[in-house]
Each structure stands twice: as structure tokens, then as C-alpha cells.
Structure 1
Amino acid sequence: MEKVFPEECARWPYGDLAHLAHLELLTPKPEASLHFFTQVMGLEVSGQEGDSVYLRGWDDYEFHTLKLTAGKRPGLGHVAFRTKSPQALLRRVRALEASGLGEGWTEGDLGHGPAYRFRTPDGHLMELYYETRWYTPTEATRPALKNQASRFPGRGANLRRLDHVNLLAADVTSVRAFMEEVLGMKVTEQIVFSDGSEQGAWLTCNNKTYDVAVTKDHLGARGRLHHFTYAVDTREEVLRAADICLEHGVFIETGPHKHAIQQTFFLYVYEPGGCRFEIASPGARLLLAPDWKPIRWNEEERKKGQAWGLQTVPTFHTYGVPPVEAGEG
């Protein structure tokens, strides 16, 4: 059943959130995961503090877009969004407090200022902030063109920017409604089966077609991560990433191929800590229509598989982090 949030949550305008800013990934193999993301995928290290290393793509403007933290099991630490202004942040904090899902303020992190933490109805930990630390290039990373965040690394898959995150949820509808009514995002595409059950929703807070996807956790678990995605410029680079993963013994789950939903050209692999990771081109598309109506996909259409007929692999519907142990769910 769709959860209805307080009326005041919907009063604040769409567009208070600027973009998906970063996520924290927990890994039981921190050294191997760090090698994967830096040497195989081409991310740059921008800082380190305690058990965490801060990473970014070569054209990410913020200090970091991935926080890699050592943990006992693979999983999602938190997801963060930057707001468009201090006033937008306070508006959304009031809406979150009214929803009953707010957890309060933190002093911030190595890469940003004060952040307000909260959870989705499914239990995913998130935060909002405005004050951020822009990445300052070193002599080694300084680009020739001043309108580029840093130099093209020429290493591994050369990931350009953080694109989106896909969350697993026991109840897709309640998480989707929360993101619409409390966070002020809008739906661009959905999967709704013939029985009326919502199996997936893709949401945006800007002019990308999506920053967040929420898909059904078929094991009934709560608060898990399906995957997160960095974008590269061309399909050829996704194909090259597949060859690079092959050379490094990285497990390829599916692809390269093209999604029907959102039309992303994709490659899915597992990083050493156990998290599913996607390399995509172009990532989310541009969404310019202010009156865009959500595209709905039905059960029959989804059974056809991906855009060019590749069937979805069974693990795509069951695997997420943290893994579900026997007796859980």
C-alpha cells in the first residue's frame, strides 16, 4: 500500500535537490576494492580518513563521489544528494522532519559541510547537504582546459562521472512516493505488472532522466543496494571496459548490451568486495520536457528482456548487498 506523507511535504517545490552527490560503499576487502576502482576503473583518490578512502571520476566537480569504507560485509553506507541552496536544504529538512523519517544533523564529512541524515521507508540511509568542497587539481591532475574538473587519467576504464544509484526495496511504491513527496523528485519511468504491483521506478531531481532507480527486492529484504553506476562518454569505452575487466579477472555478470528502460548501454561487473557495479554510456539521458509523463512498462514488455533481446540474468533479480543469508529476508 502506498504510504501517504503529510500534506506539507508536497508543498515544497520540485527542484530543491541539485543532483546525486556521492555514495558510501562498505567493503570487506578494502585494499582489493580500492585497486579495482583506481587501477581497473580509473578513479582518482582525493582523500583518506580513518577506514575510508574518498574517490572521484575525472570530471566530477566535487571532492568525492565515492566513499569506500572498510566493513565486515559488502553494503551501502549511505547515499547523499546536494541541494540547490541553503534555503532548499532547510525546506527539505522540514519536510523530512514532518515525515517522521529524519534522523538529525551531522557535522559533515571530509568532502562537505553539515548534512541532514534520514532513512527511506525501506531503511536506506541518506543525507542532504549544500556546503561542499570543490576538487582542486594537483599539478599531476591539472587539465589543459579550465572548464574540466581534472585531467583525463588514461588509466583503466577512465570513468568520467557518477551517474546513478539503484536501490532494492521490499516495497517499491512506498520508497517511490517518499522520494516524490518528501524529497521532491519526479518519476520518469516505471514497471507496473498486470496485478498492479509496482516493480520499479526511476526518478530524477534535475534534467537527467534519472538519479535514482528503485527496484523490487525479490528476496523481501529491506534497505539493500542493487548497484551504482559511473558514466563514460561512448559505447566503445564500455566495450573497452569489458576487455579491461576480462584482463583483470573481474567477474562480468551481464552485458555489454543496451537497456530498454532508459536506453543505457551497460556493463555489469562485481567489484572485489561483492558489490554489483555498472559502467554505462551515456548514463542518464537529457530530460528537457517540463511536462514529461512517466513511461510505464508492463509485465509482458519486461519479459522480452533488454533492448536487443538479451534476457535479464536471474541474479539481477536476486543479488544485492548486503547478501541475504539463509533464513533472512
Structure 2
Amino acid sequence: MKPHHGDIAHLGNIELFTDKFDESYWFFNDLLAMREVGRAGESVFLRTWDDYENWSIRLTPRAASGVGLVAHRAASPEALERLAGSIQEAGLGGEWRDGEFGVGPSFHFTDPDGHPMSVYYETAWYQASDDKPALKNQASRFPGHGVNARRLDHINYLAANVEENATFSAEVLGLKDSELIRLDNGRTAAHWFRFGQKSYDLVYSADNLGASGRLHHIAFAPDTREDILKAADIFLENGIHIESGPHKHTINQTFFLYVYEPGGNRIEFANAGARLLLAPDWEPVVWSEAERKKGQAWGMQTISTFHTHGTPPIDVPDER
């Protein structure tokens, strides 16, 4: 049973672990203008203002920060069955579980690097109440404060073996790739995959510390490049560590800003949806090691922590 490209519609929601729960909650709720929509146990569910589903982030206190379950919405009930079958045939195990907080039956599994994932189809759409929008074609009212994160955009995993996870993404999940970095030794340093026509939704980057199951970053999409510039000022005023940017990536040409939320998870703000890959026969763009050493699109060198910092942290010096 092989899935079709497009069987995964989009990134649904992400569980983030944080060792500084109150501070992380303040970051997402106050600075990003995300709305709390529910609680379960120690976790809180938060949503961006124009994600159509009930929630975007599940924030959970843990002794070490990092990424928990990442859920993707299938394009149809039939697509969900194909994905579950493909995952089982690949020997990745998995099991069906009842849905949680607005999500129907889900198939849970792990990728080859040990990151927990699930796929689902049934979902509850968000019903606005006191945040009812003036325009009925958006999910809720524009917050008008903070960063105004509009939607969850993508996730970048750290992985001990990028090639193995790339094969999994293409052959088991049915994803197409857009770009990749190939080192002089023939290994792949990073690989960008897409669910549809947006240039990327899921990325695997090599964990230079050799660990498995870690997070590089999650990304939110604001409306414009100017929103990202304003976000930098907001983070500066509120003591949030700005790691890199604002600047423009070479790969996929995303305008970006990277910060660490208080728990240490790297968060990106990016206009990744601005570039679409409409060609049905798109061939992935391959970047060489020499080309990547030139830095980002406008010449800024990639910061050293981009290759070492991840969550959960490893007990090595974190250069800032």
C-alpha cells in the first residue's frame, strides 16, 4: 500500500515540551498573540488566529524542553488508511488511538529517528465566540497585538541520519522534496519536503552532535515581511534571545527570524508560503557544500548555533 502525494494535507498540530512552562506560556500567549482554547492535565492548548482547527500548539511542562507528538491531517479517510498501511508495511509499527481534544481517530508511529508522529482526518473546526471575525472567511478576529502569528507553518527535525528519514518521507509518507544540501562526502546535510504546492512543510537536518529525536525548530507564518521585522523589535523589547535574522534564506528563499522561546526551543517566523512550486515535474534543487559556505541569500553567514543548538539540549557549550 503506497500513499499518494497529497495524502497528507498539512501540518496539524505540535506538542512542545518546556522546562519553563509559565515563561513559555507567556511567550506564546502574550507575545505571539495565540489564544488558549483548553487544558488537559498539565498541558495547555493554544491556537494561532487563522488556523481553522481548534488548536496549533500543545504546551506541556517537562524536565527537558523538546518536541512531543506532531500530528498531520490526512486529505481524506481513504488517504488516512493508505498512510497507516504504508507505515505498517515499512515496519515502523504504529497503533490506532482515540482522538484527543477535537481530533478524531489517529494512527500513531515514530519516524526512523524516533520522533513521535500521528496522522488523522476527523477534526473539529474552530468556532469563534468573542473573537468572531468581521470577515467570515477567516477563522477568528485578527488579534492586533504582539507578533500576530497567523498559522503554524512547518517543522524542522534534527536527525542522526538524514538519508534514512528522507527515504521514509518520500516512500512511506508520499512526500515530494523541494531542495537539499549534499556535502562533499556525499552525505545529505538537510532535506526539505512538501505536502502540496507550498515549497516545504517538513525538514530533516543532520544532528551534528549525533543524537536522535531532537528538534531543530518549529515555524509560524505571519502575514508579511514587515510583520517579521516588527517581531524582532517585540522580542528585543521583551528580552527574547534573537539567534539569527531578520534575513533571507538561500534555500527556498524564505524571509526569516529565529528566536529561542524561554524553554529553549528554537522558533522561526517565516513567509514560507510566499513561494509555491506549481510544476508537477519539479526536480529538487541540490546545493553543494561550497555553495552553502557562501551563507544566506544576502551574504550573512549561518550562525554556528544553527548546527549545534537543539532540544532537548545536550550537555555541550551552547555558543551564543
Closer, same or farther: CA 219–284 of 1 in aligned 2, 3 Å:
farther
d(CA) in 2 for partners of 1:18, 1:283: 14
Is 1:163–1:284's contact at 8 Å kept on the other side of the alignment? Answer: no
Is 1:20–1:81's contact at 8 Å kept on the other side of the alignment? Answer: yes
Closer, same or farther: CA 107–284 of 1 in aligned 2, 3 Å:
farther
> Deviation string for 1:265-319 (max 9, x for gaps)?
1110000111000111254622211111101100011000100011011100001
Counterpart in 2 of 1:132?
123
Counterpart secondary structure, 2:169: helix
Counterpart in 2 of 1:121?
112
d(CA) in 2 for partners of 1:76, 1:64: 16
Counterpart in 1 of 2:261?
271
Counterpart in 2 of 1:309?
299
Task: Give 2:50's aligned amino acid.
Answer: D
Select the residue among 282, 286, 290 that pairs with 1:292.
282
Counterpart in 1 of 2:65?
74
Task: Give 1:17's aligned amino acid.
Answer: I
Is 2:248–2:254's contact at 8 Å kept on the other side of the alignment? Answer: yes
d(CA) in 2 for partners of 1:283, 1:15: 16
Counterpart secondary structure, 1:102: coil
Counterpart in 1 of 2:3?
12
Residue 257 in structure 1 maps to residue 247 in structure 2:
yes
Task: Give 1:138's aligned amino acid.
Answer: S
Q: Which runs of 5+ in 1 are unaligned?
A: 1-7
Is 2:103–2:122's contact at 8 Å kept on the other side of the alignment? Answer: yes
Q: CA deviation at 1:103?
A: 2.2
Task: Give 2:19's aligned amino acid.
Answer: P
Counterpart secondary structure, 1:48: strand
Task: Give 2:145's aligned amino acid.
Answer: R
d(CA) in 1 for partners of 2:202, 2:274: 10
Counterpart secondary structure, 2:168: helix
Is 2:18–2:66's contact at 8 Å kept on the other side of the alignment? Answer: yes
Counterpart in 1 of 2:185?
195
Task: Give 2:271's aligned amino acid.
Answer: S
Closer, same or farther: CA 71–284 of 1 in aligned 2, 3 Å:
farther
Is 2:31–2:147's contact at 8 Å kept on the other side of the alignment? Answer: yes
1:61-210 correspondence runs (5 A): 61-139=52-130, 141-210=131-200
Counterpart secondary structure, 1:14: coil
Output the TM-score relative to the length of structure 1. 0.94
Output the TM-score relative to the length of structure 2. 0.97
Q: Which runs of 5+ in 2 are unaligned?
A: none
The count of aligned residue pairs is 316
Is 2:155–2:217's contact at 8 Å kept on the other side of the alignment? Answer: yes
d(CA) in 2 for partners of 1:25, 1:303: 31
d(CA) in 1 for partners of 2:280, 2:10: 17
Counterpart secondary structure, 2:138: coil
Taking only aligned residues, the RMSD between alpha carbons, in angstroms, comes to: 1.1
Counterpart in 2 of 1:5?
none
Counterpart in 2 of 1:324?
314
> Deviation string for 1:29-88 (max 9, x for gaps)?
111101100111111112111111111111100101111111111011111100011111
Is 1:232–1:282's contact at 8 Å kept on the other side of the alignment? Answer: no
Counterpart in 2 of 1:56?
47
Is 2:198–2:272's contact at 8 Å kept on the other side of the alignment? Answer: no
Query: Identity across aligned pairs (percent)?
Result: 53
Is 1:200–1:215's contact at 8 Å kept on the other side of the alignment? Answer: yes
d(CA) in 1 for partners of 2:27, 2:315: 26
Residue 215 in structure 1 maps to residue 215 in structure 2:
no
Is 2:12–2:56's contact at 8 Å kept on the other side of the alignment? Answer: yes
Task: Give 1:130's aligned amino acid.
Answer: Y
Counterpart secondary structure, 2:11: strand
